[in-house]
Amino acid sequence: MSTTSTNVALGRGVIVPICTPLDPADQIDTASLRRLLDHLVAHGVHGIFALGTTGEFGFLTDAQRALVVETCAEHLAGRLPLLVGISDTASERAIVQAERLIPRGADAVVATAPFFAATAEPEIRTHFQRIKQAIGETPLFAYENPPRVNGRSIPAEAVLDLGADGTLAGLKDSSGDSAYLDLVLSGREERGLDGFRVLTGSETHALDGLRAGADGIVPGLGNVDPAGYVRLYDEWESAPHEAEQEQRRLCDLFNIVRIPTHAPMGGSSQALGAFKAALRQLGVLDDDRCAPPSVLLDDSDRAAVANLLAAFGPAPRSARDRDPADGDGSRVHI
């Protein structure tokens, strides 16, 4: 089922990989999820990516994943394209995810290379081909994120070949490797793959990615400050100095993921905990917990996030503290 509004381009602009709000029982908090979507729509983002790394897909049950997609599709109601992660350990498991989630409202799906088992280029090519064969016309984006898949990169040549034969509609590059991004972008131009979308997943080098030729950006920090990334996207060509200033401020804000925490924790607990803590402080989420077995932030960690948010982020305003002109309160202002 495709719900995309015809006036919004798929694979362009600022596409936010949304956090997955949880309640104190570690279940999906659908009320907070709807407020998060309103927060992003109100600030002009161009698409939503559910069940990515920022969405903690690896820690969610199948039922929770389905509820996230259903809630997003119902609440967006075609206002923005909805990309949905179907990543799993192997092709057949990713296909099962696709078969469960596409009918719930995905406009496109996003998959990493296989993980856990050691794979090389032949298996990676076959992986995406099998997924595409199963999902038919639904666009498929490859998700380049080597640290999440045994350090295995999707070779740039394979990406371009799979784009040329219609397997892939695009690439989300979260490798952090500018040379890799340049290879894909230059190869796209050489082959004339004008419809193949290339997205950068870097919060701190988003402007560099756009200047290199990327069609859009997929920043996890966009949950917290969507307006900042929309301004950067809108200004990068027309007002380059302002775009550079915006990128520097967003880099400063991104330091919320690097605070010294009260207890040792992995990078995902630290980064996603910081995003959620900031969203709670902005009045968007009711709770800032991450999915088990994540280590949770404490009040001292939250205070450190709050200090950076006050210095470099948007001004906080409660999601319940709306103007009368907002009517039913469907828009969140910050």
Per-residue pLDDT tens digits for 84-116: 999 999 999 999 999 999 999 999 999 999 999
Percent of all residues in the chain with a pLDDT value above 70, rounded to a whole number: 92
Report pLDDT for 4: 42
What's the average model confidence in pLDDT over 171-188? 97
The residue-averaged pLDDT of 67-95 equals: 97
Note the Cα 141 to chain centre separation in Å: 12
41 contact partners, CB below 8 Å, separation of at least 6: 76, 79, 80, 331
- Comparing CA positions, the residue from 221, 226, 245 lying closest to residue 305 is 221
pLDDT-derived band of residue 315, with 50, 70 and 90 as boundaries?
low
Does the pLDDT at position 200 exceed 70? yes
Q: Given a cut of 70, is residue 145 above it in pLDDT? A: yes
Note whether residue 290 is domain-resident.
Answer: no
Quick one: average pLDDT of 206-213? 98
- The answer to the question of residue 192 being in a domain is yes
CATH of residue 214's domain is: 3.20.20.70
Q: Is residue 134 part of a domain?
A: yes
How many domains does one find in the chain? Answer: 1
Q: Is residue 206 part of a domain?
A: yes
Range of the domain at 61: 13-239
Phi, psi dihedral angles at 66 (to 5 degrees)? -60, -40
Quote the pLDDT of residue 301: 98
Kindly report the average pLDDT of the chain as a whole number. 92
Identify the weakest region by mean pLDDT among 82-86, 152-156, 294-298, 312-316.
Answer: 312-316
Residue at 321 is within a domain = no
Predicted confidence (pLDDT) at residue 168 exceeds the cutoff of 90 = yes
Rounded to the nearest 10°, the torsion over CA 54, 55, 56, 60 is 180
pLDDT of the residue at 327: 34
Tokens found for residue 235: 């200004």
